[in-house]
Amino acid sequence: MLHVALWEPEIPPNTGNVSRLCAATGSRLHLIGKLGFSIDDKQLKRAGLDYWPHVDLHRHATFAEFERAAGYTRLWVVDNPAPCNYTSVSYRDGDCLLFGKESTGLPPELRERFAERIVSIPMFSPHVRSLNLSTAVGIAVYEALRQVHGW
């Protein structure tokens, strides 16, 4: 099983889309820190449709709490910029993919702490600084699953 962790997500439909992806792939979803919405938000629920009962959702108030309770084996940070492409690492069952908040990404202290574990999704336009969160999660999760399951 893969783990998907969102650091302080801000936009309900993005988190709803990610929850639906996690339900579809059997991935565990971790929401870490202060959320920019309520878990009961109607946009969040609508984006997740009727799949919420099938989402393995875990809520963590702090990053330290997430690390203690999450149960992943290795952590990969998906963020820009990064020296390593998301397809150039070897993912394993039990890995966790961590994504930062939509507006600012991850805080500098987490980027520094996991500097050797940051991977990025390439973008070919200098005019775009980041992909939509749920799009990035989908790209990275399916690459990790492709490797883990040998598709």
Give the distance, in angstroms, between the CA of residue 105 and the centroid of all CA atoms in the same chain: 11
Residue 140's H or E segment, with its range, is helix 133-149
Name residue 31's amino acid.
L
Residues 6+ apart with CB under 8 A from 29: 3, 4, 5, 6, 18, 19, 22, 55, 56, 57, 58
Q: Please tell me whether 121 is known to bind a ligand.
A: yes
130 is in an annotated binding site: yes
Residues 64-92, buried b or exposed e (16+ Cβ, 10 A)?
Answer: eebeeebebeebbbbbbebeeebeebebe
Return binding residues.
Answer: 78, 100, 121, 130
Return binding residues for S-adenosyl-L-methionine.
Answer: 78, 100, 121, 130
